[in-house]
Amino acid sequence: MKNYLTIIGGSALLLTACGGNGEEASGDSNSEGGNGGNNNGVEEDMFLTIATGGTSGVYYPIGGALSNLYEGELGVDSSVQSTGASVENINLLAEDRAEMAITMSDAVAQAYEATGPFEEEEANEGLRGMASLYPNYVQLVTTADSGIESVEDLAGMDVGVGAPNSGVELNARMILEAHGMDYEDLNEDFLSYSEAIDQMQNNMVDAAFVTSGLPNSTVIDLATQDDVRIIPIEGEALASLQEEYDFFGEGTIPADVYDTEEDVQTATIMNVLLVNESLSEEEVYDLTKTMFDNIDSIHSSHNAAQEIDLDTVAEGMPVPFHPGAERYLEEEGVLDEE
């Protein structure tokens, strides 16, 4: 269930920041300075809200690590907000209720171009990137005794497709479409993947779409009770996805991740870190520099976060970089200077 957010006061530099009924985590805000002694762009009275996802996913611990880092190194007040993830996070940025947000690149591309769940809205051309992070793997999860061995076998089954208009649900629609199917072919349940896995353990759901980094904690929980099977996304269906949507890549889920019988090929989607376009160039420069100067602290937040690297910082970024991030990345030689 999505958390309902309430607006609280922000700093003189920012319009608003969000707190409220969602789960929050923040670090020690008493230390100052950091970032090699260069925090000229970030004022210590900044309130920095980082929109993430559910607490069982990967976004939340990464957001928490960033929040703690910025409080410790830059001396700002920061909170990490548990949300419904990609689509909600994009809307929070647009409403000036968050300063940073982790999202999937497919949702960002659709918001930027006013397609998919954003087709009835104006194109959000103000979205700005700070860094590409790590790939999400489309994990179509079931159990060995379900009899499901392919996407087509979902016909007539009870399937968790993600919370409505979440990044997971967007992926579910596109995966089904690539296999010549839609929701009319199955009994869709609009559940977050943690809810869907829980219901699978209670024999109320046959399969669930889980789009996340590796490993996903809810799937690990399922594997302690049942033999997990990950359904492959491959062949013509994967090629069709990649032809239709630029943001799809491909990857392999190793057998030892969930103790499956063999490695599984599937589609991947890059996660990206966005920043509010209202932040100044100097602010975002310092935020970007601080993150990469202290990247080990982000890597330690989750196994998936270990893939965050300057060498792949532009991979799959569907919107322009914020000028502050662009300046830092050009200085580091990972973006071509114009």
The pTM for the full model equals: 0.77
179-183-187-190 Cα dihedral, nearest 10 degrees: 110
Count of structural domains within the chain: 2
> Are residues 85 and 73 part of one domain?
yes
Q: Which of 253, 269, 285 is the last residue of a domain?
A: 269
Domain with 162 in it: what CATH number?
3.40.190.10
Tell me whether residue 16 is in a domain. yes
> Are residues 277 and 185 part of one domain?
no
Tell me whether residue 336 is in a domain. no
Name the residue among 120, 139, 177, 180 with its Cα closest to residue 267.
139
> Are residues 162 and 123 part of one domain?
no
Tell me whether residue 173 is in a domain. yes
CA distances from 313 to 157, 316, 334 (A): 39, 9, 8
Mean pLDDT lowest among 15-29, 112-126, 137-151: 15-29
Q: Which of 230, 250, 269 is the last residue of a domain?
A: 269
Cα distance between residue 53 and residue 66, in whole Å: 14
Tokens of 321: 């970089």
Give the structural domain span for 235.
136-269
Across-strand partners of 143? 228
Cα distance between residue 263 and residue 196, in whole Å: 23
Q: Which of 228, 246, 269 is the last residue of a domain?
A: 269
Cα distance between residue 36 and residue 90, in whole Å: 31
| Pairs from 223-226 (Cβ < 8 Å, separation ≥ 24) | 223/258, 223/259, 225/201, 226/143, 226/144, 226/145, 226/200, 226/201
Report pLDDT digits (tens) over 107-131.
Answer: 999 999 998 778 888 999 999 999 9
Report pLDDT digits (tens) over 168-205.
Answer: 888 999 999 999 999 999 999 999 888 999 999 999 99
